C-alpha cells in the first residue's frame, strides 16, 4: 500500500501543527526559491507557463500559488499527479472549491509512468522531499541490509529521466527540497517520525529513514544527485541550500 493512501499518514504529515519547525521552515524556504524559479523561467519564455507537479499531495503549492495573483497570472496550466487516490481526492476538492477547473487538474498516476502524460511542460516541480520517497523498485521493507551505499536508485532515476524528457526547451525541473545526508539531519528525521508514532527501522548506517509501516525517505549529497541523474550534463544542475544548518537543499535542473 502506498504511504499516502493511509488517511492517518496524510493527517500526520500534512497537518501543520504536527510538523517540526525544521519541516515547516523547509516549506517556507522552498517556496521562496520556487517563486524566483517560476519568474526566471517565465521571463525566459515570455509567455505563461505549463506546470507539472509530481506528487501534488494536498495541493499545498497550488493553493499558495493561487493566492499570489502575480504568480498565478503567469501560469497557463497547472497539472498535478499523485500515486495516492486519497491525495487526488483532496486536491480535486481544492480545485473545485477555488473554482479553477479551467486552469488546474489532477490525475492519479504513479510517477514511474510519467511519460504516459504525453505532454510538454515549462516547469516540472516535485516539492517538499517527495523525490526522497522514491524507493528502489525491489526494496525489501521487512528485510533490508543496513549500510547499503545505494550507488543507484532505479525508481528515482527512472522517474526523473521521464520528467526531464517532458520538459520544453528552456524549461526547468525543480526538485523542491531534499534532505541533506548527515547525522544531524537523520536524527531530525527520526525524531519527526517518532513524533508521528511511527517505528523507525533504519539506522545510522543507512542513507534513508524507513519505518515499519512502509515509510521511506532518502537523504542526498550532491554526488548522489549527480550519480542518479547521470543522463543530465552536470553543468545543467545547480544546488540551492534552503537553510544554514545543512538540513535541506533545492536542486534546479535546466533543460
Ligand X SMILES: C[S@@+](CC[C@H](N)C(=O)[O-])C[C@H]1O[C@@H](n2cnc3c(N)ncnc32)[C@H](O)[C@@H]1O
Binding mask 13-52 for ligand X (x = CB under 6 A): ----------------------------------------
Contacts of 203 (CB under 8 A, 6+ apart): 146
Does residue 111 touch ligand X according to CB under 6 A? yes
Contacts of 177 (CB under 8 A, 6+ apart): 26, 29, 30, 127, 128, 129, 242, 248, 249, 250
Q: Count residues near ligand X (CB under 6 A).
A: 21
- Residue 166, classified by CB atoms within 10 Å of its CB into exposed (0-12), middle (13-18) or buried (19+), is buried
Output 45 or 92, the one with its CB closest to ligand X.
Answer: 92
Output 130 or 201, the one with its CB closest to ligand X.
Answer: 130
Contacts of 152 (CB under 8 A, 6+ apart): 136, 227, 228
Binding mask 138-177 for ligand X (x = CB under 6 A): ----------------------------------------
Is the separation of the CB atoms in 184 and 127 below 8 Å? no
What number of residues does the chain have? 255
Does residue 83 touch ligand X according to CB under 6 A? yes
Task: Return the residue of 19, 55, 163, 201 that touches ligand X, per CB under 6 A.
Answer: 55
Smallest separation (angstroms) from ligand X to the CB of 27: 7
Does residue 84 touch ligand X according to CB under 6 A? yes
Contacts of 222 (CB under 8 A, 6+ apart): 239
Does residue 129 touch ligand X according to CB under 6 A? yes
Which residues of the chain form contacts with ligand X (CB under 6 A)? 2, 4, 55-57, 60-61, 81-84, 87, 110-112, 127-130, 133-134
Amino acid at each position: 500500500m502506498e504511504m499516502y493512501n493511509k488517511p492517518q499518514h496524510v493527517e500526520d504529515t500534512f497537518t501543520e501543527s504536527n510538523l517540526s519547525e525544521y519541516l515547516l521552515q523547509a516549506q517556507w524556504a522552498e517556496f521562496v526559491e520556487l517563486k524566483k524559479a517560476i519568474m526566471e523561467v517565465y521571463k525566459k519564455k515570455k509567455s505563461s507557463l505549463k506546470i507539472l507537479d509530481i506528487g501534488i499531495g494536498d495541493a499545498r503549492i497550488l493553493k499558495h500559488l493561487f493566492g499570489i495573483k502575480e504568480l498565478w497570472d503567469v501560469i497557463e496550466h497547472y497539472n498535478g499527479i499523485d500515486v495516492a487516490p486519497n491525495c487526488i481526492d483532496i486536491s480535486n476538492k481544492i480545485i473545485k472549491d477555488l473554482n479553477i477547473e479551467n486552469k488546474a487538474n489532477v490525475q492519479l498516476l504513479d510517477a514511474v509512468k510519467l511519460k504516459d502524460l504525453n505532454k510538454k511542460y515549462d516547469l516540472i516541480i516535485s516539492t517538499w522531499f517527495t523525490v526522497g520517497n522514491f524507493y528502489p523498485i525491489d526494496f525489501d521493507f521487512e528485510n533490508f541490509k543496513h549500510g547499503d551505499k545505494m550507488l543507484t536508485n532505479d525508481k528515482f532515476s527512472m522517474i526523473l529521466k521521464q520528467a526531464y524528457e517532458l520538459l520544453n526547451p528552456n524549461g526547468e525541473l525543480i526538485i523542491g527540497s531534499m534532505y541533506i545526508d548527515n547525522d544531524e539531519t537523520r536524527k531530525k528525521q527520526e525524531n519527526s517520525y517518532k513524533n508521528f508514532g511511527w517505528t523507525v527501522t533504519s539506522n545510522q548506517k543507512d542513507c534513508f529513514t524507513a519505518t515499519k509501516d512502509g515509510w521511506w525517505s532518502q537523504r542526498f549529497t550532491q554526488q548522489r544527485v549527480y550519480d542518479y541523474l547521470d543522463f543530465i550534463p552536470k553543468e545543467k544542475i545547480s544546488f540551492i541550500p534552503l537553510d544554514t544548518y545543512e538540513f535541506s537543499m533545492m536542486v534546479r535542473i535546466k533543460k
